[in-house]
Structure 1
Amino acid sequence: MSQPVLLDNVKHHDLRLISRHGADLGDNVNLALVVPTEFAEVQREYPILFRQSEGGTFQAFALLGLETDENLYLDETGWQARYIPAIQARGPFRIGLRENETGEAGEPMIMMDPDHPRLSRSEGEPLFRPHGGHAPALERILQTLRTLHIGNEASRHMFAAFEAAGLLAPVNIEIRFDETTQYKLPGFFSISREALAGLDGDALQKLNAAGFLGLAFHVVASMGNISRLIDMKNRRRTLAPA
């Protein structure tokens, strides 16, 4: 990625966004970072799994494929799902924070990677209207960035609450298709169904009041999408040339 620059409605008045999805646009990934503000949509399409960094911090991911650089939801016609994780939908854009006079982070700004393949001056949807103002494509991006910005902050509090309630548990995913083809996905965590079912009234009330109880149920429900991934992988294996 090149050095991000500030999106400017004068310098970039004719800039366009290529909104399609494809491997050539960076979508062929098997994991996509997701945040709590999108769990409700994500759990309908993808398994939600957690990973822990060396420093002990947890992050949530949507599982998109069983191999590295494999997105089973992506084909030659685009991304085959009703919801695309915000980290992928944002394309070349991100939120930066302008420093104020004291050197502290100030107001948020829209930054972009000027060399990103989704940006063009001849193809795609305009970012700005001819006489000024945000075009629909940029409004969608702004909403996506808000989802990520609010969700990133909520994520830290959510995982702290899950840990305090004893809900996080390691889960090793092993999928076997035949004697020679199997996939092992170690190092993931999820919500323990047993621990969730065993919470007492006080713990349930605290999680619910904080807005995290529903998120825990979303994670549990999302695990049913692993069978969907297996079906999609099977279809690809069947269609692959011998």
Structure 2
Amino acid sequence: MTNHVLLDNITHKDLKIITKKSAEFGDNQRGVITFPTEFRAIQNEYPIFFQRNPDTDEFQAVAMLGFEEGENLFLDEKGWNANYIPAAINRDPFLIGYKNDTQDGAPIKRVAVHVDMDSPRISKNDQGAAVFLPYGGNSEYLERIQRMLLVIQDGVPTSKAMFDAFKKWDLLEPFTLNIEFIDGKKYSLINNFTVNEEKLYQLDGAALQELNSTGFLFSAYMVIASMANIQTLIEKRNSLLAKTSA
């Protein structure tokens, strides 16, 4: 269940959030949606793949965290072991919503921060990160959350434009990953897409200029660079398997 309400510094003046990352808060995901607006940070840590949204059939970018359902190889007993946490996870329990307002006497809806008051991250014992300062101003924590929500808000239309450009220049190709781990278990990653490097390198000057002017050439290179993190994930899982069997 969720209980999304508009965040304000009166109703929620004492609100504190548990920021620790762990499976009990739903952080044990094998993949999470990501956006071109954070690709620079994502590609340093995680492989980026493209998938079709089952509800809309539109492409979306996904940061890979593990190989099996419920497996996040970046989670350990201390929390999330990476320099950057994807915005779609790190913003929890906050989300983008709207509030009613007026402009020139006409009713309008403005973008506003909402919070899920049924989230297990809502502190019940006055521990955690304060959302507001004692006199009502935004805490540094809330300022970070707002920046994460902006990454998502701007990332949604940017993603659509990026995939439209990739499709225009025929840069999307299916990708299959077959792995055998040290315990003999085999894994296949199917129904995913990536950037076709060969076609990217064969684009003419006009195409490259168009992609570069929109920032999507950079996005393509970030996706290609992120593929090196697949080996890091394999090593993480093999290391855990070795410890388990020792």
- Which bin holds the TM-score, normalised by the shorter protein? over 0.9
1:57-109 Cα offsets, whole Å, 9 max, x none, are: 00000000011110001001111110000001101101112356799862101
- Correspondence for 1:203: 207
User: 1:114 Cα deviation (Å)?
Assistant: 0.3
- Correspondence for 2:177: 173
* Deviates most, 49-58 or 72-81: 49-58
**Partner of residue 114 from structure 1, selected from 113, 117, 121:** 117
Partner Cα separation in structure 2 for residue 72 and residue 137 of structure 1: 25
Counterpart of 2:117 in structure 1: which amino acid?
Answer: P
Counterpart of 1:34 in structure 2: which amino acid?
Answer: T
Specify whether residues 104 and 29 from structure 1 end up closer, same or farther in structure 2 by C-alpha distance, changes over 3 A only: farther
Sequence identity percentage: 42
User: 1:217-232 maps to which residues of 2 (within 5 A)?
Assistant: 217-232=221-236
Specify whether residues 233 and 2 from structure 1 end up closer, same or farther in structure 2 by C-alpha distance, changes over 3 A only: same
User: 1:185 Cα deviation (Å)?
Assistant: 1.1
Q: CA RMSD in A?
A: 1.8
Specify whether residues 240 and 140 from structure 1 end up closer, same or farther in structure 2 by C-alpha distance, changes over 3 A only: same
User: 1:197 Cα deviation (Å)?
Assistant: 1.1
Partner Cα separation in structure 2 for residue 31 and residue 105 of structure 1: 36
Specify whether residues 103 and 167 from structure 1 end up closer, same or farther in structure 2 by C-alpha distance, changes over 3 A only: farther
Specify whether residues 239 and 179 from structure 1 end up closer, same or farther in structure 2 by C-alpha distance, changes over 3 A only: closer
User: 1:74-93 maps to which residues of 2 (within 5 A)?
Assistant: 74-93=75-94
Partner Cα separation in structure 1 for residue 183 and residue 238 of structure 2: 14
Counterpart of 2:119 in structure 1: which amino acid?
Answer: H
Partner Cα separation in structure 1 for residue 92 and residue 23 of structure 2: 13
Partner Cα separation in structure 2 for residue 183 and residue 205 of structure 1: 39
Matched, 1:239 2:243: yes
1:167-224 Cα offsets, whole Å, 9 max, x none, are: 1000011111258411111111000111111111111111001111000000000000
Partner Cα separation in structure 1 for residue 231 and residue 183 of structure 2: 19
Counterpart of 1:62 in structure 2: which amino acid?
Answer: A
Pairs aligned (count): 242
Partner Cα separation in structure 1 for residue 36 and residue 218 of structure 2: 10
- Correspondence for 1:45: 45
- Correspondence for 2:62: 61
**Partner of residue 190 from structure 2, selected from 169, 186, 190:** 186
Counterpart of 2:80 in structure 1: which amino acid?
Answer: W
TM-score, normalised relative to structure 1: 0.95
Partner Cα separation in structure 2 for residue 205 and residue 57 of structure 1: 25
**Partner of residue 129 from structure 1, selected from 128, 133, 158:** 133
1:208-241 Cα offsets, whole Å, 9 max, x none, are: 0111100000000000000000000001111115
Matched, 1:155 2:162: no
Counterpart of 1:113 in structure 2: which amino acid?
Answer: D
Partner Cα separation in structure 1 for residue 107 and residue 198 of structure 2: 44
Q: Which runs of 5+ in 1 are unaligned?
A: none
- Correspondence for 2:18: 18
Answer whether contact 1:97 1:105 (CA < 8 A) is retained: no
TM-score, normalised relative to structure 2: 0.93
Q: Which runs of 5+ in 2 are unaligned?
A: none
Specify whether residues 135 and 174 from structure 1 end up closer, same or farther in structure 2 by C-alpha distance, changes over 3 A only: same
* Deviates most, 98-107 or 217-226: 98-107
Partner Cα separation in structure 2 for residue 100 and residue 79 of structure 1: 39
Answer whether contact 1:193 1:220 (CA < 8 A) is retained: yes
